[in-house]
Amino acid sequence: MVGALGRTRRRLLAVAIVFTVVIAIGTVAALQAAGSKLTAGERAALARLLRFKDLPLGYRLLNFGPSPEYRAQPLTCSAIDPADPQPDLAAFLRRYSPSGCYAIYYRSFHVPGTKPAALAIGSGAMVMDSIEGAEAGLAVAPELLSHLIGDELPEEVESGATIGDATRLFHWRHPGLFKSSERPSASFLVWRSDAVVAAVFATDGTVGANDRAVQELAQLQQRRIESPVRAKASEFDGSEVALEDPALDIPVLWLGQRFAPGHGLQQLRLWDSASASGAESLTPRVSISYVDHPRLRHAEMIGLDFWSQNQWKRLEAKRHKLPAVPSCPTAKPLRIAPGNLVIYRGYEAGSKGCGNRARRGAYTARISLDGVVATAETLEVCAVCASAGTGPYNSRAGMEAIARGLVRRPAGR
């Protein structure tokens, strides 16, 4: 599981770095835990962003992966204050002191039979105190964008259609962000609607496809601008998106959004999920992570991977070390109706020498249930660590509770 989580984190980290450069205006997360306060302007801007329900199935907020320290700021509200602004932009910022919000979405899968969708999109808004201020904001749109794309001024082109009261369309040709782009570019559409300045972007398509995407996205967002509704945290929660992939060919098992088995085991909350399809792939069909305290500098995470029975047979046939088997393992088979469970006790992966008792012990599990083979591991995560957990789930009782807690997730949540 460490390998699978590591691959997921590295992939999401690379993508997130790119779009932090492209679109992020600040570093203050918009919907943090209770106690965090948004300004009135930030709340107004947040209400005018695109949300999951506005987008096709498969989009999720971009994030760095399972580590709290590596988590990106995919949903961001803050004052707009770029370093070394150009003179026109600096004058605008001094006069109006604007703030805004952005959301960055990444398409984790595409539903067969539906029209093409951009791989990554963004939605942003700032609500000014007057139409005059919004007009001034639209006037410095290229300067604002330049500070988000490496200080390059984007190329303005004919917008083709007007959204709201005034519209500007920009192109930016960039180094290949995604391997599917032969002539990589991004399209940014910025428009004014009364006292609101809004922006959307799309990338990883052709120039024409990106332009069409931002036109459609802007029309969707304009509905939010005309009829704003206060945003709820659940409307930006993408932790279950991957579990809705229609290409999955196995039942989706999980522990629910919250898992509280008691008996000294802390409550877990769903942190993230990933899915993959492909008949020949040996990548887990589903990966789910749970965490006990996502806001602590160190947190114990539970990593669950799920394979089809055919996949697992092919893994066994390779005669390599199977996933989630610790070093120097001892195994304890148990029955859990209607499946079976094997709990391993050993040392965290990568440890050498079975006689060194100073190394960290690790409990892992393999569960066969409902035609699926699942593995469970604990993981302590922080900015510089990724090792077996030190909490109560790194135990035989913890592994058994996880195995007994797995249930089939209802479809279409």
Is the pLDDT at 64 greater than 50? The verdict is: no
- What confidence category does residue 224 fall into, taking pLDDT thresholds of 50, 70 and 90? very high
- Which of 236, 270, 291 is the C-terminal boundary of a domain? 236
* Same domain? 99 vs 228: yes
* Same domain? 265 vs 223: no
* Same domain? 79 vs 47: yes
* Same domain? 97 vs 230: yes
- Residue 413 belongs to a domain: no
Q: Taking residues 234-259, report their average pLDDT.
A: 92
* Same domain? 226 vs 257: no
* 183's tokens: 């002539």
- Which of 205, 236, 267 is the C-terminal boundary of a domain? 236
- Which of 219, 236, 253 is the C-terminal boundary of a domain? 236
* Same domain? 191 vs 312: no
Query: How far apart are alpha carbons 308 and 282 in whole angstroms?
Result: 9
* Same domain? 204 vs 322: no
- Residue 119 belongs to a domain: yes
* Same domain? 303 vs 381: yes
- Residue 158 belongs to a domain: yes
pLDDT digits (tens, 9 = 90+) for 363-382: 999 999 999 999 999 987 65
pLDDT digits (tens, 9 = 90+) for 79-137: 998 888 999 999 999 999 999 998 989 898 888 888 888 989 999 999 999 999 999 99
* Same domain? 223 vs 140: yes
Is the pLDDT at 208 greater than 70? The verdict is: yes
Structural domain range at position 190: 2-236
Q: What is the pLDDT of residue 183?
A: 59
Q: What is the pLDDT of residue 30?
A: 38
CATH number at residue 178: 3.40.1000
- Residue 177 belongs to a domain: yes
* Same domain? 78 vs 142: yes
- Residue 149 belongs to a domain: yes
* Same domain? 23 vs 146: yes
Q: What is the pLDDT of residue 391?
A: 82
* Same domain? 83 vs 113: yes
pLDDT digits (tens, 9 = 90+) for 283-327: 999 999 999 876 555 678 899 999 999 999 999 998 778 898 888
- Residue 198 belongs to a domain: yes
